[in-house]
Structure 1
Amino acid sequence: MQRRSLLIGATTLLGATTLAARAATPTAALPVAQVWKDPSCGCCKDWITHLQREGFQTQLFETGNAAVRQRLGLPEKYGSCHTARIGSYVIEGHVPAADIRRLLAEQPKALGLAVPGMPVGSPGMDGPEYGGRKDPFDVLLVMADGSSRVYRSYFRS
């Protein structure tokens, strides 16, 4: 009887330790975000900070992004001030981290996500200098053939 109680106690302790370890570890490690930007762009730095706050590790290349955007096959019409490669996807512009997480979880057959231009209110374009302004914008899912569809809309009524 004493041996059985000891085994049950050990199993319970092992189970609790395993649960605690699982709770402390993220469900899936996020891939490193490789980001290409112009060295003088402040909003790009703010977007990178947004990613880091959301658990992404970043690798920065301050060489501009036009050449890498072209190399990765993203059409110019989706262009913004920075381009990232996260996992097998291209991320262009001020895409919210939540949408990148969703993309990585769903793994659609696509080139990646884009927020063309630099909409005020998007991550990195949401600092105090904008006075709380939030312009509507769409996150686009860009397909390999260059077509796109709205992946998520922000600030639309």
Structure 2
Amino acid sequence: MVNKMMFVLLKQVVKKPFTNPFPVKHAPKNVTELIEKVQKGEVKINPPVPLPEEGFRGKIHYDPERCIGCQLCIKVCPADAMEWIPELRKIRHYVSRCMFCQLCVDICPGKKFPGEEKNVKALSMSNDFLLADYDKYSDNLIEEPPEAKEKGL
């Protein structure tokens, strides 16, 4: 039984993109202005829900000072979210690719600074769960050493 819906479905399958993009042009102006202010850091959004409890897998925090350059995180990452920067012997983490499995955090040996009793890992799970952005390559969604931006790597 062929009906009108079948034709609409077939037309959408061959059309690119396959999904309907979010109609930003129809969004209220104050919403887009607020999102831009949040991205610039001018405004902070209070989450409508309580902050996550211990064990929540939020955005991965990367501390380049603790990174020893072993590349174990790159080897275990199933989403290919880590990239090696050979000039700095550090990593770049793409949050937009990450599936938050925590394998990189678990395998990270970390580094011990003088005066500390044990190693502290370079990668750790944070409570940051507001990860929405228009650009998947924005500064908000890429964790990397500051020198990488300065040198254009």
Same fold (TM over 0.5): no
TM-score by length of 2: 0.24
TM-score by length of 1: 0.24
Higher relative contact order (CA 8 A, sep 6+): 2
Greater percentage in strand = 1
